[in-house]
Amino acid sequence: MSSQHHLHQPSDNTETRVAVRNKLSVRIERQRRKETLNTEAHVRELIRDAEGAIVGDDETDRRAEELLEELHLYLWHDPERKAPTDGDTLPADARYRFKQIHRQFQAGHDIESRTWFETLVSVAKGLNYVEAFTDLTQYAPVRLETLNEQGRQGNVETATPIGRRRIGADDAADLEDRAVEITHSSCDHILAVALPRSGKDSTITSIGMNLWKEHNYSYFSILDDGRMETPMVSIPNDEDAIQRNLERMGQEPEAFDAEVFVPAMDGIPSHLPANFKPFTIGIDDLTPHLILRLAGITKSDANTEQRIKQALDKTLERTGEVTELVSRLQVYAKEMDATIEWVEKGDDSVESKSVQYHMEAEDALNKAAQRLAHLAGEGLVASPSAETNIDMASVIANQEQAAVLCCNFLTQGQEALKYTIMDLWLRLIYQARDGDMRLPRVCLEIRELKNIAPSKLADVRYKETIKTLRQTIFFISTQGGSRRILMLGSTQKLNDVYKPVRSNMATKILLRLGEEEIETLDRSYNFSNEQMRQLSEFDIGQGMILAGGEAYWPIELRGAPCGLGLGDRHWLDRYGLAWGARVRESEYDGWRTKHGDCAYWVDLTENTVVTDGSVPEVGTWHLLPEDFDADLEPEAVDQEAIDAALERRREYPVKSDLSLEPTSFGDRQRDLSLQQQDRDTTLSEVVEQHNIPEAVAPWLSKEAPTREQLVAACRAIDEHDDLARQADIAEHIDWSRSNLATHLSKSESLKKCVTKSGGTYELTPIGKRAAEVKWKVVMEELK
C-alpha cells in the first residue's frame, strides 16, 4: 500500500498477538452470552407452554410430560445449580424438592404434573430465568442519558429508570441492548401527547424529577390552569394507581423540595404553606425589550428601544421608583429635538462635537408607560429596593429547590395578567442563562402547552397577550437548547400546538390516543401496522417514544413520584395530610362521633390548643391528643411536640416546609397615581428632594382635606404616647372614629404608618417621617 494512504487506514494499538487474543476473547464471550440468552428464552418458553398444556390450552401441541421433562433437564444441567456461587438465590427447600423429583425422574417413575411444574418454576426463579411466574415478560430500562462531560455531569453512575420497555418472554435479547436512552445532551425538547387523564402530565413531571434530581437541572413549572396542580410537586404522590406503578418500578413516592412563587398582589390568602413565596419584579431586571414585551409590542426599532433605555438608565441613576420611570417614558414619547455629543481626538487636541436631530412622537412608549403603571398599581412591578423582588439568576442557581410559578390567586378581572407574568418569567430565565452559562441547566415543564402556544389564536381568550407569549415559547423552542433550557411539554392533540413549536420538540412520547389522533400522527410518521395496533391498544401510562428517528414500544412509563392534580380533593387538604396533619375533608366525616370525647385538639393554623368542645372547620389542619408521644395535657403542647407529632404521622418524607404561615398580603390594596410631567420639577423629584417614603407618596395625589387629616393623625400619635383607642386619636383630628378606622386599614393611607404596641398606638418609621415632612412646602412646589 502506498505511503500516501497510510494515515487513512486502521491500525492495531497493541502487538498483533495481543490484538488477536483480545478480539477472540471478546467474540467468544459474546457467543457464550448469546447462547446463554437463547437458553434462558427457551426455558421461559417451555414454562409458558407447560402451563398451557397442564390447563388444556388448545394452542399447545405437546404433552405436558414432554415439556416438563425438557424443562427439567435444562434446569438440572444449569451451571449455577451444579456449582452455586455467592450470589445463589435458589432456596434450600426448592433445591431439596428438585433433587427428590430428579431421583424419581431417573428411576422412570410417574410424577404428578402440577407438583413437578411448581418445583421447576421455583428452581427457574431461583436461577434467575424468570422474575415472576405471573408475568414471564422481561423489561428493559428506559433512562435519561447520563452526561459526564465538563460542565454537564450527572450525579449518578446509572440513572434511575423513568419507565420500562416490554420484551417478550421468548425473546433472547440482552436487556441492556434493548434499553432505551433519551438523549438530552443538547437539551432537545420533549413533548408528551395523550388523551385527558392518560398520564401525559405525570410523564413529563416524572422526567423532570430525574433531570432535577440526578442530572443537575434546575426545575421550573410555569403553567397551571387554575386547579393548583403544579404546586402539588411539593408532596409525595398520593394516588393509588401511581403508587402501584412506582412499586412495579421498585420505587416510592417522592416530593420535590420546591418553592412556589406567587405574585405579591391582591388576592393572596391570609395563610399559605411556608414554601409559598410572594414575589415582585424590580425595574432593574427589566430591559427595553422586556418593557416592550410587557406592553404587548413585538416589533420595534432601535430608536424606540434607545428612548426606553435612556428613561430606564436615568431612573435607576436617580430614585429607582416606578413612578419616575413611567413619567420619563411619557415625556420621551413626545415629539422632541435631541442632541448627541461626543469627543474626537486630533493629533494635538481634543474637539467636542454635537449633532441635533428631531424625534417623532412614539406611541409605543406611551403604551409601555401605561402598562408599567398598571403593573405597578397591581403590585407586580416594583422599585429595585423592594424585598420581594425576584432574582431569577439566584432562583436558577438554587438547583436544590424546584421553582413553581402559581398565578391562581389573581383576583377576578386579572386573568390575562397571568400570561404576562409567564412571559416575563420565561424571558428572565432565558436572559439569566444567556448571561451566565455557569448556571445550572434549566428544565422548563409546561403542562397543556397548547394553552400558551396554540396553533389557532381564534380559539383562545386574550389573543394579543397569548400571541406575545406564544412568540416567546417559539423563541425558546428554537434558541433555548443552545442556552441549555430544555422544555417538557404536554398536549392532548399534537396539531393543537403551534406548528413551529411542536416541530422543534425532537422527542415525542405518545401515550393513550384516540383513533383520530393516531391517524393524524400516522400522516407524519408513517407507522407500521404493528405500531398502529399497539398505539390503539395502550392503557393509561403505556406509550411509544419517538426519538432520533427511531420508535420504541411498548413502554410502561413511570408515574410522577410527586403529587399531581386531583379533581375531587382540595389542594390544601392534600398538603396538610402530606405534612402529617389531620384534615377534615368533608362535613360528613363523623368527626364528632369519632373524636368528640377528646379533651382538646390543636389548630395548626396558629398552633393553638382548642379546649372549648368545638369541632374543626372543614379544611382545618389539626392534631388530636393521641397523635402526641405521651399523654400531654393541653398546657404542655408546644412547638417541639407539634413538630414531632407531624413528623411521625408522615407516610413519606417531605422536603419542603409545608407548615401554614400568615402571608400579610391578604387585605393589601395599592393605588398608583401618575401625572404626566411637562415641567422640570417632576413628582419623583419632589419625593426624592423631601425624602418622602414611597408608602405615603400617594398622599400627594389625594384631596387636600384628606391629606391634612392623614398628617394630623400621624402628628397626634407622635405627640401623645397614651392613645389606646381609635376614639382617642379621633379627638385630636377632624375625623370620626369610623372614618379613622377606614384609613387605618388602607395601605395607601395609614396602615403602614401606624402600629399598636403594648396597648397604645405608635408610629412606624414611615409614620414618623410622614409627620416630619413639610407638606405645605411640598404642595407649593407641585403647583
The tens digit of pLDDT for each residue in 324-334 reads: 899 888 888 87
Mean pLDDT, residues 715-735 taken together: 92
Residue 408 three-state SS: coil
Greatest CA separation for the chain = 119
Assign 408 a pLDDT band (cuts: 50, 70, 90).
very high
C-alpha–C-alpha distance, residues 293 and 716, integer Å: 47
Higher pLDDT, 151 or 638: 638
**Banded pLDDT at 167 (limits 50, 70, 90):** confident
Same fold, 137-278+399-567 and 690-782: no
Q: Answer whether 468's CB lies under 8 Å from 179's CB.
A: no
Dihedrals phi, psi of 280, to nearest 5 degrees: -125, 175
- Which of these ranges, 211-215, 391-395, 588-592, has the smallest mean pLDDT? 588-592
User: Would you give the distance in Å from CA 741 to the centre of its chain?
Assistant: 42
> Which of 47-51, 218-222, 367-371 has the highest average model confidence (pLDDT)?
218-222
How far, rounded to the nearest angstrom, does the alpha carbon of residue 267 sit from its chain's CA centroid? 22
What is the per-residue pLDDT for 682? 59
What pLDDT is stored for residue 283 in this prediction?
Answer: 93
d(CA 727, CA 737): 5
Mean pLDDT of 161-165: 95
CA proximity to 40, closest of 116, 168, 130? 130
CA dihedral 23, 27, 30, 34 (to 10 degrees): 170
Q: Residue 638 has what pLDDT?
A: 94
697 pLDDT higher than 90: no
Q: What is residue 491's predicted lDDT score, i.e. its pLDDT?
A: 97
Summarize pLDDT for 412-450 with one digit per residue, the tens. 878 888 998 999 999 999 999 999 999 999 999 999 999
- Comparing 76-90, 603-617, 730-744, the range with the smallest average pLDDT is 76-90
Res 670 pLDDT > 60? no
How far apart (Å, rounded) are the C-alpha atoms in residues 273 and 563? 15
- CA atoms of 137 and 167, how far apart (whole Å): 6
Residue 751 has pLDDT above 50, yes or no: yes
What is the structure's pLDDT at 175?
77
Q: Which residues contact 572 (CB under 8 A, 6 or more apart)?
A: 273, 619
Query: Looking at residue 214, what DSSP letter applies?
Result: H
What is residue 45's predicted lDDT score, i.e. its pLDDT? 86
Under the banding of pLDDT at 50, 70 and 90, the label for residue 681 is: very low
Distance in angstroms (rounded) separating the CA atoms of residues 21 and 545? 40
Q: What are phi and psi of 454, to 5 degrees?
A: -75, 150
Determine the average pLDDT of the residues in 250-266. Answer: 95
Please, what sign has the CA dihedral across residues 640, 644, 646, 647?
Answer: positive
Q: What is the DSSP letter of 666?
A: T
Per-residue pLDDT of 438-491, as tens digits, reads 999 999 999 999 999 999 998 888 888 899 899 999 999 999 999 999 999 999
Question: Which CATH number is associated with domain 690-782?
Answer: 1.10.10.10
Q: Are 519 and 509 in contact (CB under 8 A)?
A: no
CA angle 306, 311, 315 (to 5 degrees): 145
Confidence (pLDDT) at 361? 54
Confidence category of residue 26, pLDDT binned at 50, 70, 90: confident
Q: Position 103: which residue type?
A: R
CA atoms within 13 A on the CB side of 481: 16
The 10s digit of each residue's pLDDT in 351-395 is 666 555 555 557 888 888 988 988 888 888 999 988 999 999 999
Task: Return d(Cα 761, Cα 401) in angstroms, integer.
Answer: 41
The whole-chain average pLDDT of the chain stands at: 87
Give 204's contacts (C-beta < 8 A, 6+ positions apart): 190, 192, 445, 447, 488, 489, 490, 509
Cell of 127: 436461577
Better-predicted residue by pLDDT, 26 or 726: 726
Is 711 a residue whose pLDDT tops 70?
yes
Residue 2 pLDDT more than 70?
no
The answer to whether residue 120 scores a pLDDT higher than 50 is yes
Which stretch, 3-7, 676-680, 697-701, has highest mean pLDDT? 697-701
CA distances for 773 relative to 707, 729, 768, angstroms: 12, 20, 9
pLDDT (0 to 100) of residue 267? 86
pLDDT for the residue 92? 84
Tell me the angle at which helices 529-537 and 515-525 cross, rounded to the nearest 10 degrees. 150
pLDDT of residue 293: 78
pLDDT at 703 over 60: yes
pLDDT band at 669 (very low <50, low <70, confident <90, very high): very low
**Cα–Cα distance between 191 and 546 in angstroms, integer?**
10
Q: How high is the pLDDT of residue 20?
A: 77
Q: Which residues face 440 on adjacent strands?
A: none
| Residue 588: alpha-carbon gap to chain centroid | 34
Burial zone of 372 (CB within 10 Å; 0-12 exposed, 13-18 middle, 19+ buried) = buried
| Percent of the chain clearing pLDDT 70 (strictly above) | 90
Over 60: is that where the pLDDT of 202 sits?
yes
Answer whether 0.85 is exceeded by the pTM: no
Backbone φ and ψ for 462, nearest 5 degrees, come out as: 55, 55
Name the pLDDT band for 13 (thresholds 50, 70, 90).
confident
Residue 674, pLDDT score: 37
Instruction: For 499-514, write each residue's pLDDT tens digit.
Output: 999 999 999 999 999 9
Q: What is the mean pLDDT of residues 639-649?
A: 96
Task: State the pairing for strand pair 163-167/138-144.
Answer: antiparallel
Beta strands in 224-335 (DSSP E): 258-263, 271-273, 276-279, 281-282
d(CA 656, CA 578): 11
Does pLDDT of 299 surpass 80? Answer: no
What pLDDT is recorded for position 635?
Answer: 92
- Classified as helix, coil or strand, 157 is coil
Q: Using an 8 Å Cβ cutoff, are 534 and 566 in contact?
A: no
Lowest mean pLDDT across 4-13, 383-392, 528-537: 4-13
Q: Is the dihedral of CA 261, 264, 269, 274 positive or negative?
A: positive
Distance (Å, whole) CA 284 – CA 670: 21
Whether omega before 554 lies within 30 degrees of 0, making that bond cis, reads yes
Rounded CA-CA distance 716/710 in Å is: 10
Contacting residues for 283 by C-beta, under 8 A, at least 6 apart = 312, 315, 316, 320, 322, 325, 372, 381, 382, 383, 384
Mean pLDDT calculated for residue range 94-117:
88
| Domain limits, the chain | 16-136, 137-278+399-567, 581-649, 690-782
The least confident of 69-83, 203-217, 657-671 is 657-671
On the question of pLDDT at 639 being above 80, the answer is yes
Identify the band that residue 84 occupies on the pLDDT scale cut at 50, 70 and 90: low
Q: Is the pLDDT of residue 110 over 90?
A: no
Architecture of the structural domain at 137-278+399-567: 3-Layer(aba) Sandwich (3.40)
Residue 684 has pLDDT above 70, yes or no: no
Distance (Å, whole) CA 274 – CA 258: 11
Q: Would you say 208 and 219 are in contact if contact means Cβ atoms under 8 Å apart?
A: yes
pLDDT of residue 678: 38
